[in-house]
Structure 1
Amino acid sequence: MKKNESISKPHVVYLRLNSYYIGYMKVKYGVPCLFPAMSALNLCLERYLINNPTMRLITPFCYSEAAFHAEHNGTLSLENAPRLTAEQRAAYLPITIPDEIIRGSGSVSTSATWQLSAPGAKMLRKQVKRDFWIAFSDFYEDCRYRAQRQNNTVTLDEAISDFTSIYNIDMKESDTIYRNWFRLQKSMKAEIEDRRELMEKQSGNVLLYTE
């Protein structure tokens, strides 16, 4: 590359998330986040990207790059600019978007005015949540397996403490993660029971050995 050639900076969208999700995502996917091409996160991102050149408010959970920085750049009127405090801005995660995406008409170039639609922001937030809890579940299981092999034990509190440390999550979020873990376990148990009942109904057989 020639010295006078400039490298174009990738465009991003800003997605609002809980602080512990943001800490996890930044460590795992970088800043701004760059998702693996074929991951569920990236597929969801590409599917729901839309161009919003007028930068009207579509959803408070996602802003385009241009809209997020509009107040500082003076490019929007005050009624359209996302009047966010520094604390509120910290609740948004920058996520890299592709330079081009495929639509029905072919390849379309993105820009700083592209963002997620309202359904897209909802879906991507759901995917981030799923990614986080799968990672924590795997980490907790690894901790318990390792402890068992060493004739030791590990508590949920200990696993959460190390997990938050690894992903630069504020320790004050530990209680929230602890409570949400039990809510998730309860929800998963109900889903498993529903799936088992559906399998029995569809097959006409009874699950005898895995009660």
Structure 2
Amino acid sequence: MVSYLARRMSRPRVVAIVLALAAILVVSLLPTWRAEAATPAATPAATPAAAPAKAIPHPVPTLPPGQVLFLGRIAHPQLLTVADLAAKYPQHTQTVTFQSGAGPQTHTYTGPLLYDVLQAAKPAFRSDVKNDALRYAAVVHASDGYESVVSWGEIDPGFAGTEALLAVTQDGVSLAKEGPRLTAPGDTKGGRYVSGVTSVTLVRAGL
């Protein structure tokens, strides 16, 4: 095209037309250049932060059968034997029925209320938090590693008032060798009837 124009027009006019065409081309490409300049350069993908490690719970000491360690959010941690549980606290007797893997079970238990034993250990409830006790629960640990949980609201007489025992006898037979048994009257299943209790830890579950 330029050679054709060169034959038909004077040189200055050809130069002017070529410059005009170049200007048109530049103007048409300008938006594309601006868009490319405005696009931020790709940055390497950030390495995802490592997930926080799960807290490792403190191991519960292994105790001989018949001894129970009370610890956690209490002022007076203590180690009690079945004989201590029978001698130091008011005794209650209850006959309960529950379902087990072997079928229905009915037994008569005698022992102190879990509530009474924990109250004597002075729970560290906060006076500046409304009903702070309702954020607490007792984790009951057995000699075979089995665990169950009872909330404070369940055993507090001011709330549900369930008479969960740390039974020292079952059907009149001492549990001094096996260790006390937690009872859960009102439970249909026997999963919370923890045998061979070795520790009770009071924990604060709420914020």
With normalisation by structure 2, the TM-score equals 0.20
Higher RCO structure (Cα 8 Å, ≥6 apart) = 1
Structure with greater proportional strand content: 2
With normalisation by structure 1, the TM-score equals 0.19
Larger radius of gyration: 2
Structure with greater proportional helix content: 1
